[in-house]
Amino acid sequence: MTIIQKDNIEWFIDNPAFADFIQTISFGDILKRSHLKYIFQSERIFIKAFYEKGLYGLIRNKVVSRGEKEYTLGKRLMALSIPVPEPLGYGIAKQHSYVIQRWIEADSLLTLFKSSKNKEVLLTLLASFLKKLASASIRHNDLHLDNILVKDGILYLVDLHQMKIKKLFNRTDEISNLTHALAMVYDGIKEKEKELFFNAYGAPDLRGHVEDNIQRLKRRWIRKKKKRAFDETSRIHLSGDYVYLTGYEDYGKGEPVEVIKDDRKVRVERYTDHIRKYYKSKRRLERAWKNHVVLSYMNYSLGPQAFYVYRPPFPEYGYIAMEDLKSHGEEMDRYLHRQYGQRIIPERKLLIERLARFFHSMFQKNIIHKDCKGCNIFVCEGMQFRLLDIEDVAFREIDEERLIKMLVQLNTTIPRSVGFNDRMRFFLRLTSIMTIDRKKIFSQVIKRSLRQVIVYEGTQGLTREYW
């Protein structure tokens, strides 16, 4: 191994011819982007930088840096016939470390999952790959599908610095690999595809344990994202009292137009290019922003796109600047009051189908809305839906009691002119894939709904109706 010094970085490289090439690289560029690709002797190489934060990071960099660990583990995996990008060397600096690898032109397994109409082939490949890792006693510890690359039907493992090759590989290690690998795609996998995967892996008895762990992993991931909602990250940019979602720093700069709402909780103002929602409770403001951040990380367009949050010193109210949906549609209670009677039966059925599908998507992602009234559901062009009042979103599984409350809220906040048959059709479509006692829930929804007055915002303002 050849050792050279460049820009206060000590490099350990396999190929001596690589030394002259190292001297030509500006490592300031790598620090700005965390990784860069280069061409060396007609081959593409990849240099990845790790920033060591705090005292622990400095100590770790002295003992075994992440760059060195990535290099060493890559070599060991190649010896075990586990495909990885070939490691070519590593570098160590005071607060950074680096790894040099041969670049693989490939898609991540997650990318292929999102675009594939036939997931069975990919699931079979994944099951075989995970079985191979288990046979080699490998626990990756961050085995999401963006860390598995696919080229010509071969799976390559990347991001190795948290990985361990265990002397004793036990059931917990195996469940960890399976959980991390499936967590990002499990909600979108059909029942028969889940059965196929665990049968192909050869351990159908592990399915229940993996599913429980996926739920725990999701909850931990959400807590982590919420905790960092006001910190500088790849998704968040700080500027004084403003916290921006990356890419939206130039949004929400227009002039005031009107006040839409002003009550004891919030004040909502329309501007020429956005909406500002002022929160009269700091806790409610922070909860709303944290939810927007989590949804951003999930790449899930559940509500209006948030641009930034303004957190001023007390006693001034903070606000979130967000997309104005007005030109795209209207709240569902007003929409139904205006259009329900004019819709023919096939159009009503299509509306019900798409609304049920919208809620299915939410429930699959373990998302509920605790104030699911007609005025908090926005109907966009093409019968697409968004939720308002994102502060009332909760990331948890839907249970029977929560489902009953949600349906009662919907029942009593949309016009009475929406007939019983359509309400029944929505209930049956919504619950068609849920393992619940439908008769019991339907009975409770009717009983509780009939105790309440119907209240909604119609085309002429607040409207009360009786069953």
DSSP string for 16-64: TTHHHHHTT--HHHHHHHSEEEEEETTEEEEEEEEE--HHHHHHHHHHS
Supply the pLDDT for residue 72.
Answer: 95
Query: Is residue 255 a part of any domain in this protein?
Result: yes
Average pLDDT over residues 33-57: 71
- Which of 35-39, 93-97, 151-155 holds the top average pLDDT? 151-155
CATH number at residue 435: 1.10.510.10
Supply the pLDDT for residue 1: 81
Clarify whether residues 72 and 38 are in a common domain.
yes
Mark whether 32 and 120 lie in a shared domain. Answer: no
DSSP code per residue over 389-402 = -GGGEE-S---HHH
pLDDT at 32: 44
Considering the domain architecture, whether residues 115 and 191 belong to the same structural domain is answered as yes
What average pLDDT does this structure show over 218-237?
Answer: 93
- Assigned domain for 288 exists: yes
**Same-domain check for residues 112 and 92:** no
Pick the last residue of a domain from 294, 324, 354.
Answer: 324
Q: Model pTM?
A: 0.80
For residue 252, is it left (φ>0), alpha (ψ between -120 and 50) or beta? left
Based on the domain organization, do 447 and 335 belong to the same domain? yes
334 and 297: one domain?
A: no
229 is a domain residue: no
Burial of 255 by CB count in 10 Å (0-12 exposed, 13-18 middle, 19+ buried)?
exposed
Same domain, 120 and 205: yes
User: Looking at 293, 324, 355, which one is the last position of a domain?
Assistant: 324
Do 457 and 333 share a structural domain? Answer: yes
CA-angle at 425, arms to 423 and 429, nearest 5°: 120
Cis peptide before 415 (omega within 30 of 0): no
273: containing domain = 236-324
CA angle 342, 346, 352 (to 5 degrees): 90
Indicate if the pLDDT at residue 339 is higher than 50: yes
Determine the pLDDT at residue 228. Answer: 95
Total count of domains within the chain: 4
Question: Measured between alpha carbons, how far is 438 from 215 in angstroms, rounded to an integer?
Answer: 24
Q: Which of 324, 348, 377 is the last residue of a domain?
A: 324
So what's the pLDDT on residue 226?
Answer: 97
Does a structural domain hold residue 230?
no
Residue 318 domain flag: yes
- The verdict on 448 and 333 lying in the same domain is yes
Range in 3-12, 266-275, 276-285 with the lowest mean pLDDT: 3-12
Residue 227 lies inside a defined structural domain of this protein: no
82: closest CA among 46, 145, 131, 13?
A: 131
Same domain, 247 and 367: no
pLDDT of amino acid 33: 43
CA distances from residue 49 to 13, 18, 28, 83, 144 in whole angstroms, order as listed: 15, 18, 10, 22, 20
Write down the mean pLDDT value for the chain: 91
* Phi-psi domain of 45 (left: phi exceeds 0; alpha: psi -120 through 50; beta: other): beta
What pLDDT score was predicted for residue 319? 98
| pLDDT of 180 above 90 | yes
Segment 164-182 mean pLDDT? 95
317 in a structural domain: yes
pLDDT, tens digit, 9 for 90 and up, residues 323-333: 999 989 999 99
**SS3 state at 170:** coil
pLDDT at residue 214, as a whole number: 94
Q: 171, 180 in Cβ contact below 8 A?
A: no
Structural domain includes residue 231: no
Q: Summarize the confidence of residues 75-89 as an average pLDDT.
A: 95
Any idea what the CATH number is for the domain that residue 284 is in?
3.30.200
Q: What is the pLDDT of residue 116?
A: 86
Q: Look at 406 and 8; give whichever has higher pLDDT.
A: 406
402 and 314, same structural domain? Answer: no
Mean pLDDT lowest for which of 7-16, 57-66, 235-244? 57-66
- Name which residue leads in pLDDT, 314 or 180: 180
pLDDT at 40: 65
My answer on whether 309 and 336 are in the same domain is: no
Does 30 score more than 60 pLDDT?
no
The whole-number average pLDDT for the span 33-40 is 61
Q: Which ranges constitute the DSSP H helices of 105-206?
A: 109-115, 119-135, 171-182, 191-201
- Write the pLDDT tens digit of every residue in 181-190: 999 899 888 8
pLDDT at position 118, please? Answer: 84
| Average pLDDT of the residues in 307-316 | 91
Tens of pLDDT, residue by residue over 374-388, are: 999 999 988 899 999
